Amino acid sequence: MDTKQIKIGHLTVEIPQPYKEGHQLTEVEAHVLNQVFAENIRNNNRKWVKKVESGEVSEEMAIEAIQAYANEYEFTIASAGGGRASLTPVEKEARKIARQKITAALKAKGTKVKEVDKEKLQAAILTLASDPAVIEAAERRVAEMQAAAEMDLSDVLGEAA
């Protein structure tokens, strides 16, 4: 079974990643997945409520547009937990490092990032960002940034500090 290292406070914990393509869902898993689906549809279509409230479109038109969106909606890497708001500073930095490494590797091969399928690129970034060496590098960078932020700047700024 695949595993993933996560940080909880200062602890690094390796946890299982039990779900894979083709996984047979339990009733509870199906319920949770359907709930996330509904939340994504709701969050991605709030603009329609504002359009109805401003009189820009009718309620019927908004409902039809939202239903069409829902009928075509597919989960993506980003919608499956790639959101930036929930990432820790170390996770953000690990993804940044991973993106830089992948971009450099593509450039060395003469390939532009724009030429790579977005889903494949995002999957590669997430895979590399979970590598223990990348996580360790990200932890060092974050610690360095935090140390720099805590520096006493009174000697540089004088009374303004």
Q: What is the pLDDT of residues 25-46, one digit of tens each?
A: 999 999 998 998 899 888 888 8
Beta carbons of 132 and 113 less than 8 angstroms apart:
no
pTM of structure: 0.47
C-alpha–C-alpha distance, residues 113 and 4, integer Å? 26
Residue 28: what pLDDT? 94
Q: Residue 158 has what DSSP assignment?
A: G
